Amino acid sequence: MQLRYNYRVHPTPGQRRSLAQAFGCARVVFNDGLRARREARAAGLPYVKDTDLQKQVITTAKHTGERAWLADVSSVVLVQSLRDLHTAYRNFFSSVTGRRKGPKIAPPRFKSKRDNRQSVRFTANGFSLRDNGRLYVARIGDLEVRWSRPLPAAPTSVTVTRDAADRYWASFVVDTEPQIIEDLDFGGDLDSETGIDLGLTHFAVLSDGKKIDAPKFLRQAERRFKRMQKALSRCAEGSNNRAKVRRKVARQHARVADRRRDWHHRESTRLVRDNQALYVEDLAVKGLARTSLAKSVHDAGWSQFLAMLEYKTIRHGRYFGRIGRFEPTSQVCSACGIKDGPKPLSVREWACGDCGTVHDRDVNAARNILAAGRTDRLNASQSAGKTRAPVPAPRVEAGTHPDRHVPVAGIQVL
């Protein structure tokens, strides 16, 4: 499997100028290629092939007076920029035709020099690792890298990035083998599996009743942000003082994002090591981010956390499952399985009208997520094994009302 390893890079002032030139040339080539394809489409001409486009916006452009400075940077940067354009078009076409799952992908758009993030990518023939620990990049020189950990294998490509906080990073793509960790053994029961209910008051609630408090890094830094934003609003547009304050604000946002990412890594690693299978709910994060809870939703960073859980379970040989977002996890009693109806968010505890069990709203939802995830995994394993026997109706127990769901203990996984 392919993994990315990010390291901080400290270029010299001369290397910063060379990188800025490389960023600009890659951006110009990308925009020229996009403009050429848009003009061809407007004129009714066929789609411009990659080889023809490369000759037009790189090879031929270098011999013109307007684009002669493209020869001052490595050709690897320019070719990779066109490959990014090709990937953007391919993703767009796959989304339009329905071959790509998930939300619709918009067509590629022009890049701006005012973008907060600038990057260039080098393949194996455009960079090398020195014996002294420095990273050699074509037409840039030897970059000082802050090696926080060694690379597990030789990298296949590297992307040099400058973020909004004026920090430089080197992102290596490495082909690694999965690191399967030992399976958990709890005497044959299913205690090594857990359901996770994500929230805002508590970041995550597990099906065993454990609650992980939300760190709320952005909320903690709100007062500092308000003070810095006031100082930024007082600066004149385009002034040097405004640029200095803007970088301070960007560094503060980067610090909050780094703290959140580090916390996500620690918690996701702990969950993967302590559980054989993890089940979560497929949340509509984009929709929730357009509500009055937008700031808290962004501060929680659910999407980033779930992405970490997913790739870490694959890497370490665990199981990761998502249940549908329309599962009534907050409406069903996890003890008897009856559907008790919707409840407002202000209701944090409720008693089942059938069995009388008093539930914590989040713990009950986590247990229902665990039950639904086990059922989906069971049905998937039976389908993969081409089992002709009919699969029993999920979460319906014999001798009970059809609207009642099977409790957690009533489901067995093959």
For 221-287, the DSSP string reads: THHHHHHHHHHHHHSPTT-HHHHHHHHHHHHHHHHHHHHHHHHHHHHHHHHHHH-SEEEEE---HHH
R_g (Cα) of the chain, nearest Å: 26
Catalytic option among 32, 193, 281, 299: 281
Confidence (pLDDT) at 183: 81
Q: What's the token pair of residue 199?
A: 């929230």
Helix, strand, coil percentages for the chain (3-state, nearest 5): 45, 20, 40
Q: Nearest-CA neighbor of 225 among 251, 252, 244, 245?
A: 252
What element of type H or E holds 351? strand 349-351
Catalytic residue among 32, 197, 299, 340: 197
Q: Is residue 299 among the annotated active site residues?
A: no
Q: What is the pTM of this model?
A: 0.86
Cβ-contact 120, 160 below 8 angstroms: yes
Instruction: Give the Cα separation of 165 and 155 in Å (integer).
Output: 26
* Residue 262: active-site member: no
Number of helical (H) and strand (E) elements in the chain, helices listed first: 10, 14
Residue in the block written with tokens 């066109």: 82
Contacts of 140 (CB under 8 A, 6+ apart): 11, 15, 18, 19, 22, 74, 160
User: What pLDDT score was predicted for residue 103?
Assistant: 84
Please state, in angstroms and rounded to a whole number, the distance separating the CA atoms of residues 392 and 308: 33
Return the closest-CA partner of residue 22 out of 81, 91, 96.
81
Residue type, 410: G
Q: How far apart are CA 16 and CA 410, in angstroms?
A: 62
Residue 392, pLDDT score: 39
**Residue owning tokens 């029993």:** 392
Taking 70 as the pLDDT cut, the residues of the chain under it are 185-191, 385-414
CB 47 within 8 A of CB 37: yes
pLDDT at residue number 394: 35
Q: Looking at 43-107, list the stretches that DSSP marks H as alpha helix, in order from N- to C-terminal side.
A: 50-54, 75-97
DSSP 8-state symbol, 72? G
The structure tokens listed for 151 are 């690379």
Distance CA 221, CA 373 (A): 37
Q: What residues have CB less than 8 Å from 29, skipping those under 6 apart?
A: 57, 58, 70, 78, 81, 82
Closest to 55 (Cα-Cα) out of 25, 86, 29: 29
Fill in the amino acid letter for 33: G
Q: CA 396, 397, 399: angle at the middle one, nearest 5?
A: 125
| Model pLDDT, residue 384 | 75
Q: Are strands 193-198 and 277-281 parallel, antiparallel or unpaired?
A: parallel
How distant is the alpha carbon of residue 236 from its chain centre?
36
> What pLDDT shows up at residue 408?
32
183 catalytic residue (yes or no): no
- String of DSSP letters for 125-183: GGEEE-TTS-EEETTTEEEEEE-SS--SS--SEEEEEE-TTS-EEEEEEEE----PPPP
CA-to-CA distance for 314 and 199, rounded, in angstroms?
Answer: 24
CB 367: neighbour CB atoms within 10 A?
28
**What tens digit of pLDDT does each residue of 84-123 get?**
999 999 999 999 999 998 889 999 999 999 999 999 999 9
